[in-house]
Structure 1
Amino acid sequence: MNDPRPVLALDAITKTYNKGRPNEVRVLMDAALTLAPGQVVALVAPSGAGKSTLLHIAGLLDTPDSGTVLLDGQDMSRESDTARTVARRQKIGFVYQFHHLLPEFTALENVALPQLANGVTRAAANERAVDLLDRVGLGKRHDHRPAALSGGEQQRVAFCRALANAPALLLADEPTGNLDPATSDQVFDVLLGLVRDTGLSALIATHNLALAERMDRVLHMDGGRVT
Structure 2
Amino acid sequence: MSDVLTLERIEKVYNAGEPGEVSVLKGADIAIAPGEVVALVAPSGAGKSTLLHIAGLLDTPSAGRVAIGGEDVTDLGDRRRTALRRSKIGFIYQFHHLLPEFTAAENIILPQLANGAAQGTAKARAAMLLDRVGVAHRASHRPAELSGGEQQRVAFCRALANAPELLLADEPTGNLDPETSDRVFGALMDLVRETGLSALIATHNHDLAARMDRNVHLDGGMVTLKT
Whether these two folds match at TM > 0.5 is yes
Structure 2 residue 56 is matched with structure 1 residue 56: no
1:97 and 1:35 map into 2 onto residues whose CA distance is 21
What is the deviation of 1:34?
0.2
**Unpaired runs of at least 5, structure 1:** none
Residue type at the aligned position of 1:10? L
Structure 1: which 4+ aligned runs deviate by more than 4 Å? none
Stretch deviating more after TM superposition (72-81 or 166-175): 72-81
State which of 108, 112, 118 in structure 1 corresponds to 2:109: 112
**Unpaired runs of at least 5, structure 2:** none
1:204 and 1:80 map into 2 onto residues whose CA distance is 26
Task: Count the aligned residue pairs.
Answer: 224
TM-score, L = length of structure 1: 0.98
State which of 179, 185, 195 in structure 2 corresponds to 1:182: 179
State which of 135, 144, 148 in structure 2 corresponds to 1:151: 148
Task: Give the equivalent residue in structure 2 for 1:125.
Answer: 122
2:101 and 2:24 map into 1 onto residues whose CA distance is 37
Residue type at the aligned position of 2:115? N
1:103 aligned counterpart, secondary structure: coil
The two structures, once aligned, show a CA RMSD in angstroms of 0.6
What is the deviation of 1:79?
1.7
2:202 and 2:136 map into 1 onto residues whose CA distance is 28
2:168 and 2:123 map into 1 onto residues whose CA distance is 24
Task: Give the equivalent residue in structure 2 for 1:221.
Answer: 218
Task: Give the equivalent residue in structure 2 for 1:103.
Answer: 100
What is the deviation of 1:66?
1.0
TM-score, L = length of structure 2: 0.98
Cα-to-partner distance string for 1:143-190 (whole Å, 9 max, x where unaligned):
000011000000000000000000000000000000000000000000
State which of 2, 7, 11 in structure 1 corresponds to 2:4: 7
Structure 2 residue 203 is matched with structure 1 residue 206: yes
1:53 aligned counterpart, secondary structure: helix
Task: Give the equivalent residue in structure 1 for 2:136.
Answer: 139
Residue type at the aligned position of 1:17? Y
What percent identity do the matched residue pairs reach?
A: 69
Task: Give the equivalent residue in structure 2 for 1:89.
Answer: 86
1:88 and 1:49 map into 2 onto residues whose CA distance is 24
What is the deviation of 1:212?
0.2
Residue type at the aligned position of 1:7? V
